[in-house]
Structure 1
């Protein structure tokens, strides 16, 4: 969970070189990455301007330019702040693109200068029906398999989280510490799907600096603070442990109903790498326990699972991209292997023992994977 996310929102995940949306009402004024049929999103420190506020359903391409002085995030929301897709960490003077499969309906596009608050929002309307082109059956198979995967991750998380909660409720600090990071793995592997609901993530995975005014801090990281910083468990913590299980059961029951498409799988894989870049490599995610590498591995594993399921189509559509992603996933796995510790309860060294040089290697590895991964959605969107 990123430090500055306050409403389970994230930024639009990037994709490049995608076929333009036929008949889209968007304009192309030659400013940046837009082309015919592209919806251009221009973000500044005080505005979020769109080249079109109505466009047809189907695979939609957004070209985002950050003309402000702050790092920004951009989101596409369905009603109820349900995330359709996201892209974060768009630096000043840089651009990003997204390919998303969007159904007819009312949505909002939000830009978040400084990656704070609810963002500057614009209402948009998606009309008509998606093109009737037949989708590759391999993509349908990928979606089905991924849906099974995310449900399995939720199902496997509950007993591990229960073990953690039971240790908290018994007042056993050391047992709770040992169970903490392991209880989060399934969540970290499938976080974009969990975040898509809008209301679960702020309850279970928000960090101290992501708590909104008037919101009670609950979830894993509040308990993490008590265990490692305060080194004691309060009566309120015991209640929070029960609440964590209640909220995770809600996630478990709802995850099988999440809307999943080939492009949302691809964008979600990129979002997981963004999570690593903005929270794990920096040490912000697990600032008290320093178990960031467990989360790091979970994010990478979830991204790799999505890619592997989509790979039969990607290898046909863009074989160079498929080979590069294979190479970079192997490389990031090798980097993580350097920091394993068989004596640790969670299998990794404490992140606060890793020096700047090693952190830079990890960061460089994440960046090397994130760049080709940003092209994954485009590769599956153009598949026939």
Structure 2
């Protein structure tokens, strides 16, 4: 979920966490894009979005992005219909990063979004024919398997969500609380796929401080607030439950049509670690229920699944990177296991019980994994 920052304290915590995660990438100023072509340089400011070229060849492309503005910024490469081809969130002032994408010929938009709210400042770009690459059976197999995984997660989510929303409609607060975190697992594992559609995530997974002007608050977190902070369901709770069912059924139907490539899988895995750094470590995501560790585990699970499917390619192209990723995924899983609680409905202790020193240890583990994971996309396209 695209995080929002409405207080100085929240901004400092989130940006500090992300700076640690993306430290290596922040110092990167790529000189080449794709397989030998020039990178597309994107310079984001508070009131402008400069793109170094209005046209580039289809295939693998690198966006070398830099935030020269004063606010945290997001840069997106958008398909003509508004779906996200690739993105880089949480670019702090002065931050640079490189994002690898795989695109076909057509008209796209590059968007710089100061403050990570709204449509941002858009620049139209044209992707020209390019040279078709020879099909790689290993990459094709990874994409097919990941598509099946994403669909299976969506299919499994709907009945769990119905358990949650049925309890809300029945006014059964204890049952709804018990079902809340389990209903989110499949979504959190595959969130980059959901976010690629653009319009579903804001309706289902936005926090109160992430709302656009005039946007009605719907989705999981609107109900989470009622269940834990308000300790009572409001007059609109049944409508919110119905809307959540409808929006997630829409997501389930669209998953099979998602644009998935090896590079989008690798980028998505990194995005999931960024989610952990900016929302879970800080306790922002599930701020009322404190079920953040369940989402944390689901994000890691989804990232690890994408990596495992790409590992035959990554191991061939960069065996040292693959070995490091194996090591760091095992390490973060071991860290999370310390907080398992078999008596909890979501399988973890409440995040309020995780002390600051323990949160720092978790953050360090995420950082250690995110650094090599940021290199996966480049390894896959070698």
User: Structure 1 regions of 5+ residues with no counterpart?
Assistant: 6-10, 23-34
* Superposed structure 1 runs of 4+ greater than 6 Å apart: 13-19
* Cα distance in 2, alignment partners of residues 362 and 250 from structure 1: 34
What residue in structure 2 maps to residue 118 of structure 1? 119
What residue in structure 2 maps to residue 74 of structure 1? 75
1:21: Cα distance to partner?
Answer: 4.1
What residue in structure 2 maps to residue 20 of structure 1? 33
* Cα distance in 2, alignment partners of residues 165 and 62 from structure 1: 41
1:98: Cα distance to partner?
Answer: 1.1
2:104 is the alignment partner of 1:103: yes
Q: Is the 8 Å Cα contact of residues 33 and 63 (structure 2) preserved in structure 1?
A: no
1:93: Cα distance to partner?
Answer: 2.2
In structure 1, the residue corresponding to 2:101 is in which secondary structure? strand
Q: CA RMSD in A?
A: 2.0
1:79–1:36 CA distance, 2 compared to 1 (3 A): closer
* Cα distance in 1, alignment partners of residues 247 and 69 from structure 2: 37
Q: Is the 8 Å Cα contact of residues 2 and 116 (structure 2) preserved in structure 1?
A: no
Q: Is the 8 Å Cα contact of residues 184 and 295 (structure 1) preserved in structure 2?
A: yes
In structure 2, the residue corresponding to 1:115 is in which secondary structure? coil
Worse-matched range after superposition: 353-362 or 189-198: 353-362
* Cα distance in 1, alignment partners of residues 214 and 69 from structure 2: 29
1:274-328 deviation per Cα after TM superposition (whole angstroms, max 9, x unaligned) = 1111111111110111100000000000000000000001000000110111111
Worse-matched range after superposition: 156-165 or 229-238: 229-238
1:339: Cα distance to partner?
Answer: 1.1
* Cα distance in 2, alignment partners of residues 217 and 91 from structure 1: 27
* Cα distance in 1, alignment partners of residues 33 and 200 from structure 2: 34
In structure 1, the residue corresponding to 2:256 is in which secondary structure? helix
1:140: Cα distance to partner?
Answer: 0.3
1:126: Cα distance to partner?
Answer: 1.0
1:172: Cα distance to partner?
Answer: 0.4
1:150-182 deviation per Cα after TM superposition (whole angstroms, max 9, x unaligned) = 000000001100000000000000100000000
1:185: Cα distance to partner?
Answer: 0.0
* Cα distance in 2, alignment partners of residues 206 and 100 from structure 1: 26
What residue in structure 1 maps to residue 325 of structure 2? 325
Q: Is the 8 Å Cα contact of residues 46 and 114 (structure 2) preserved in structure 1?
A: yes
* Cα distance in 2, alignment partners of residues 56 and 285 from structure 1: 39
In structure 1, the residue corresponding to 2:122 is in which secondary structure? strand
* Cα distance in 2, alignment partners of residues 72 and 243 from structure 1: 30
What aligned pairs does 1:295-334 form with structure 2 within 5 A after superposition?
A: 295-334=295-334
What aligned pairs does 1:1-384 form with structure 2 within 5 A after superposition?
A: 1-4=1-4, 20-21=33-34, 37-129=38-130, 131-382=131-382
1:169-211 deviation per Cα after TM superposition (whole angstroms, max 9, x unaligned) = 0000010000000000000000000111111111111111111
Worse-matched range after superposition: 47-56 or 314-323: 47-56
Q: Provide the TM-score with structure 2 as the length reference.
A: 0.91
Q: Is the 8 Å Cα contact of residues 2 and 278 (structure 1) preserved in structure 2?
A: no
In structure 1, the residue corresponding to 2:181 is in which secondary structure? helix
Matched residues, number: 363
In structure 1, the residue corresponding to 2:84 is in which secondary structure? strand
In structure 2, the residue corresponding to 1:341 is in which secondary structure? coil
